[in-house]
Amino acid sequence: MSTAEHDAWGSEDVSSGKGAGDENFPVGSLLISRDQRPNVHAYYDFARVIDDIVDSTKLDPQAKIDRLNAMEGVVRGTVAAPARPDAQTAVKVREMFARTGVPVETATDLIVAFRQDAVKNRYETWDELLEYCRYSANPVGRFLLELHGEGPETAGPSDALCTALQVINHLQDCADDLRALDRCYLPREWMEREGAKVEDLYGPFALPALRRVFDAMLDGVDVLNDEAARLPALVHDRRMRMECAVIVGLSKRLAARLRREDPLAGRVKLSRGDVLAAMGGALRVIRR
C-alpha cells in the first residue's frame, strides 16, 4: 500500500456504534432466506461504515471524500485494504458481489451520494432531493431485488419505496441533522414559499409554516408509496415478496404518524402495533 493510499484511510475511528436495531425497518430480517442473510448483512455493514464516515464530526470534507474514495477503490478491486474493521467491510462486500453477481454499482452509487453529503448541506427543490435519493437510497432496494433474482420491472416501484423511506428519515431527523451536521434536506423553494426558515428547526415544536413544508413533503411521500404498493405483486420470491409488502405497509404507517406527530417535539417512530398491522396487511396482499 502506497503512502498516499495509507493516508487516505486516516486514523480516526468514526464508528457511530449504530446497528441494524437502530433502523426504522429490519435489515436482513427473518423474512429474508437464511442463505441470503449473510449477503444482506455484508451489504448493510458496508453501508453503515460509509454512512458513519460522511456523518463524522471528526473529519473535514476532504478527509471524508478521501476515505470514501478509498472504500470505493476496495470494492472495485483497485485499492488495497488495510487490516482494520471499516476497510474490511469493503473487502467483504466486494467478495459478496463476486460470489452473487449483483452489480457493484448498488454499493458504489451510495458513495456518490455520500460524497455529495460531504460538501452539500442544502437542497433547493424537491426534484433535487429526489435526485439525491436516487443514489442515497434506491441502490439498497435494487441490491435486495438483484440478490433475489428479480426482474427489471421491479426497479420503478422499488425506487419509489426507497425514496419514500429516505424522505421519511429526513423528516424524522430534520432537527438532529441541522444541529449535528448543519445539514437540511427540506427543499429551500418550499421553505420560502411557506415563509419558513431553516432556524425554525431549532424550535421545540414545528411552527405552522414549517408544518406546511412537512406536509408538502409527505404529500410527495404518499405519491411514492402509492407507486411502491405495486412492488409486492411483481416480486417472484415468496419471502422477498412478503418483506416488500411489510416494508410498504410500514412506510405508509410511518408517513401517517408524521402527519399526526411533530418530529421537533420528539422522535416519531413505529409502534409494535404498527409492525403487527403491517405484517397482517402484507399477508392479505400476498394471498390475493
Ordered domains of the chain (ranges, CATH): 32-120 (no CATH), 121-288 (1.10.600.10)
Give the model's confidence band at 283: pLDDT under 50 very low, under 70 low, under 90 confident, else very high.
confident
Please state the pTM of the whole predicted model: 0.91
Q: Provide mean pLDDT across the span 125-138.
A: 98
Q: pLDDT tens, 173-191?
A: 999 999 999 999 999 999 9
Q: pLDDT tens, 268-277?
A: 998 888 888 7
Phi and psi of 281, rounded to 5°? -65, -35
Cα distance between residue 156 and residue 224, in whole Å:
10
How many other CB atoms sit within 10 Å of the CB of residue 52? Answer: 17
Give the model's confidence band at 131: pLDDT under 50 very low, under 70 low, under 90 confident, else very high.
very high
Q: pLDDT tens, 229-256?
A: 999 999 999 999 999 999 999 999 999 9
Q: Is the dihedral of CA 97, 100, 105, 108 positive or negative?
A: negative
Residues 6+ apart with CB under 8 A from 23: none
- Position 27 scores a pLDDT of 45
Residues 6+ apart with CB under 8 A from 10: 59, 63, 66, 67
Residues 6+ apart with CB under 8 A from 200: 206, 207, 209, 210
Cα distance between residue 68 and residue 65, in whole Å:
5
Is the pLDDT confidence value at 63 over 90? yes
Q: Is the dihedral of CA 256, 220, 188, 270 positive or negative?
A: positive
DSSP structural state of residue 35 = T
* Element holding 196 (H helix, E strand): none
**Residue 186 contacts residue 220 (beta carbons within 8 Å):** no
- Position 102 scores a pLDDT of 98
Q: Provide mean pLDDT across the span 116-122.
A: 97
Q: Provide mean pLDDT across the span 107-121.
A: 98
Collapsing DSSP to helix, strand or coil, 189 comes out as helix
